Structure 1
Amino acid sequence: MAFTPDNETEFLDEALAEEESSTPLPSKTWALDFENGKIGSTIDGDKALRQFIIKAIKTERSRYVIYSDDYGCELTELVGGDYTPALLDAEIPRMVTEALSYDDRIDEVIEITYRRDGDKLFINARVVPAAGDVVITEEVET
């Protein structure tokens, strides 16, 4: 009789295989009306993912205790700064990609573009959802 555990991993292998083949969990969340500041019914699927994209970009990272330090975007650091266009071209896509990659419903961030109009910054994000073949494009005003 040995005092060391048996190192066979068949149970672990079975659990990992089951986890990989399991269906994704629903992404049900409350529908947010950003213009009127109201919460509506629940949404799921692409609508919930689109709302996440908007919310993740608009939410300032590490500002609200309710969110972890992984949630949100750091774009406010660039507001009002005297930065070169080359720096903005590098940092804005990096910051937005970082904010969106946090969610496991997003497989890949394909393209981030932006345009400035006075005090406003408009961000276009194209993402590939983990479930589905349709690329989602969303414009966010910050």
Structure 2
Amino acid sequence: MSEEFPFVGSSSGMTETAATENNLPICKEYAWDFEKNCFLYDGNGQHVLVDSAEAVKVWIYKALQTERYQYLAYSWQYGIEVKPFIGKVMSVQERYSELKRIIIECLMVNPYITSVDSVEFTTTGDKVSCEVDITTVYGEVNVNV
């Protein structure tokens, strides 16, 4: 596991491995409530851990919500660069094309992601939602941001 990614470390060390040709450790993250946009906790107030495909889904969601270079806690490879688009004059199709490019660029730094299969945008008023279909070492994952 690369130290450049904000993954949760395994409490039992790195003896668990995924069944991949890269022999990556099992991906683990703290569980995330995508509806409320916050961490999930168990009955004792402790973070809930998820692994494999669900952990990659959490990583994807959080990476797409984090502006690259903004936080010292993350490496410069983590996050997405959306700020350069603010105030830039572009057609809607140009903007979506560039957003698709930076989304793919953001996600492909993760060694657990093998491909970004589709990036679809939906506009509702002044809000743009993005649905991303990804193939990971654990199978297919779908994330809405």
Q: TM-score, normalised by structure 2?
A: 0.72
- 1:38 is matched with 39
In the alignment, structure 1 segments of 5+ residues that lack a partner are: 1-19
- Note the aligned Cα RMSD (angstroms): 2.1
Call closer, same or farther: CA 1:57–1:22 in 2, change over 3 Å: closer
Counterpart CA distance in 2 for 1:117 and 1:63 is 28
**Which secondary structure does the structure 2 equivalent of 1:107 belong to?**
strand
Shift of 1:22: 6.6
Per-residue CA shift, 1:85-109, capped at 9, x if unaligned?
2311320110100110010000011
Q: Normalization by structure 1: what TM-score?
A: 0.73
Specify which structure has the bigger relative contact order, considering alpha-carbon pairs within 8 angstroms and separated by 6 or more residues.
2
1:98 to 105, 110, 117: 105
Give every structure 1 segment of 4 or more consecutive aligned residues whose post-TM-superposition deviation is greater than 6 Å: none
Query: Which residue in the other structure is 2:142 paired with?
Result: 137
Look up the equivalent residue of 2:26 and give its one-letter code: P
Q: CA–CA distance in 1 between the matches of 2:127 and 2:84?
A: 14
Asked which structure has the greater CA Rg, the reply is: 1
What percent identity do the matched residue pairs reach? 26
1:1-142 equivalences under 5 Å are 23-33=23-33, 35=36, 37-40=38-41, 41-132=48-139, 135-140=140-145
Q: What does residue 4 of structure 2 align with?
A: none
1:22-49 per-position Cα deviation (integer Å, ceiling 9, x unaligned) = 7431111211335253353101011111
Task: Report the Cα offset of residue 115 of structure 1.
Answer: 2.0
Unaligned runs of 5+ in 2: 1-19, 42-47
Comparing 27-36 and 46-55, the one that deviates more: 27-36
Count of residues in Structure 1 that have an aligned counterpart in Structure 2: 119
Q: 3-state DSSP class of the match of 1:114?
A: strand
SS at match of 1:88: helix
